[in-house]
A and B are shown apart, each in its own frame.
Chain A
Amino acid sequence: MKHHISFTINGQSMELTVLSHQTLLEVIRNDLRLTGAKHGCSTGECGACSVIMNGEVVNACMVLAPEVDGTDILTVEGLSDGEELHPLQKSFIDHHGVQCGYCAPGMLISAKALLSRTSRPHEEEIREALVGNLCRCGAYADIIKSIQVASRARR
């Protein structure tokens, strides 16, 4: 079954025809060629495909494409302001928040969602916000530090 959907992605209006059983992750990676969000576990555990939908972080592999109609989506590609990286992205580079990099787009998206609610999160709040994002390199300490430093710099 086909659906015509219109939505906003990274500030741009978009109209697409999708199938009932396509996921948001398939749409952004395959149709829109935005490959920042990664395909990880397909079970909603790893968070590699995290995107922000209407202001809230979700797993794009667990959202059906027709559900996206009328929503506002932010992917990791939408974080930077043109060539100017987002403070979180800069901080991940400066403080080694990226090891192999596979989890990084999801981590950045979860961090972005956290900072839009809580401008100066405690370490515990950062850990809670990252419960749904797994890093198989085990770089959590540096990821948390990157987010802490970015939140302090943002003031």
Chain B
Amino acid sequence: METRDLKPFHYIRPESLQEAGRYLASEEAVKLLGGGNTLLLQIRSGQESPDILLDVKHLPGFGDVRYHHNQGLKLGAAVNLQHLVVGLEIRRHYPLLHQTAQKLASPQVRNRATIGGTLAWASPISELAAAMLCYDAVCHTWSPRGHREIPLAEFYLGDYQTALARDEIITHVHLPPFPNRTYGIYHRQTVRHDGRRMIAGAAVLAYRKQQALTHWRIAVLGMDNRPKRIPDAEAVLEGTPGEAEIARALEIVQEQIHPADVDYARADYRRASLNALLKQAITEVIHHLQSIRS
């Protein structure tokens, strides 16, 4: 281990968005550094050879976590994923996010990985994205042209591409407030306990309004070139879904996914796995919400 295994680059810690913007506008190959869990791997493998790494974790406001019952949750881009596991406001008001975060990678990785970095990496198997999609998350960004709000559902273009411009930075993510009677479940099947080798994953959320179950959200991952919601299936579940509606929703999901064969699971197996996980998640959400006393 005497040799340094990363090719040389300049590490720079900008003090303002404007300073970061000047680097991003330069001719140099610039990469934003969050937790580095993916970027350092890419540099080691030679996939990326940046001139400059901009460590954006210390920019003003990037570490903020704020919850207000009328306004919802603001998560700074540099908040780490472990906060989603331990943060009281997350456990109390966004339990699906908490439950999903517990399953992400390992403590070592979660302590470093940032929310902004994880979302911007845009992995088709992003479990964080699936939970965030259920909570209608919106990415707030900055570029030299100003601020922008991009709903997460429009953020992913597929194949690790995002709606971010070259000189645009995620500053924070906003989740609207949800009623108390909201419940969500995330189920996944992976080969490994740390989440690597994803076969299928599904997040489901809804809330109860009087006797009706409404605001259904179904987000799937690993089934396409991006994590995505299936609004047509969500619509079928509105109201008081019974077995027929659940079956119809599952059918629609199957029509709208395109899983690929991977070396550890065939596409038809991944479809079957998703179907089972989703059915279980929907059934659990219904049972939980119907068991709450009115």
On A, residues with C-beta under 8 Å from B are: 1, 3, 19-23, 25-26, 29-30, 39, 42-45, 47, 50, 53, 56-59, 62-64, 66-67, 110, 113, 128-129, 131-133
B4 interfacial by beta-carbon distance below 8 Å: yes
A30 and B2 in contact, given A59-B109, A62-B40, A63-B36 (Cβ under 8 angstroms): yes
Say yes or no: B193 contacts A56, CB within 8 Å: no
B151 interfacial by beta-carbon distance below 8 Å: no
Q: Name the 6 nearest CB pairs between A and B, nearest first.
A: A132-B106, A20-B11, A132-B108, A21-B6, A56-B111, A1-B10
B31 interfacial by beta-carbon distance below 8 Å: no
Of all chain A residues, which has the CB nearest B35? A62
B5 interfacial by beta-carbon distance below 8 Å: yes
Q: Which of B1, B35, B106, B112 contacts A30 (CB 8 A)?
A: B1
Of all chain B residues, which has the CB nearest A67? B55
Which B residues lie within 8 Å of A25 (CB)?
1
Of all chain A residues, which has the CB nearest B43? A21
Say yes or no: A56 contacts B11, CB within 8 Å: no
Say yes or no: A131 contacts B106, CB within 8 Å: yes
B194 interfacial by beta-carbon distance below 8 Å: yes
Which A residues lie within 8 Å of B44 (CB)?
42-43
Which B residues lie within 8 Å of A42 (CB)?
5, 44
B144 interfacial by beta-carbon distance below 8 Å: no
Say yes or no: A21 contacts B106, CB within 8 Å: no
Which B residues lie within 8 Å of A43 (CB)?
41, 44
Size of B's binding interface in residues, CB under 8 A: 32
B107 interfacial by beta-carbon distance below 8 Å: yes
Which B residues lie within 8 Å of A47 (CB)?
106, 108
- A-B residue pairs in contact (CB < 8 Å), sample of 12: A3-B11, A20-B11, A50-B108, A57-B108, A58-B108, A62-B35, A62-B37, A63-B36, A66-B55, A110-B107, A129-B107, A132-B107
Of all chain B residues, which has the CB nearest A1? B10
Q: How far is the CB of A33 from chain B (nearest CB, A)?
A: 12
Q: How far is the CB of A127 from chain B (nearest CB, A)?
A: 8
Q: How far is the CB of A152 from chain B (nearest CB, A)?
A: 22
Which B residues lie within 8 Å of A29 (CB)?
1
Say yes or no: A21 contacts B1, CB within 8 Å: no
Interface hub of A22, A25, A44 (most chain B Cβ within 10 A):
A44
**Distance A44 CA – B194 CA, assembled complex (angstroms):** 11
Say yes or no: B111 contacts A44, CB within 8 Å: no
Which B residues lie within 8 Å of A30 (CB)?
1-2
Q: How far is the CB of A63 from chain B (nearest CB, A)?
A: 7
Which A residues lie within 8 Å of B10 (CB)?
1, 20
Known: A21-B7, A131-B193; 10 extra A-B contacts, CB below 8 A, are A1-B9, A20-B8, A21-B4, A29-B1, A47-B106, A57-B111, A62-B37, A62-B108, A64-B11, A131-B105
**Distance A21 CA – B111 CA, assembled complex (angstroms):** 21
**Distance A129 CA – B110 CA, assembled complex (angstroms):** 11
Say yes or no: B9 contacts A20, CB within 8 Å: yes
Which B residues lie within 8 Å of A62 (CB)?
35-37, 40, 108, 112
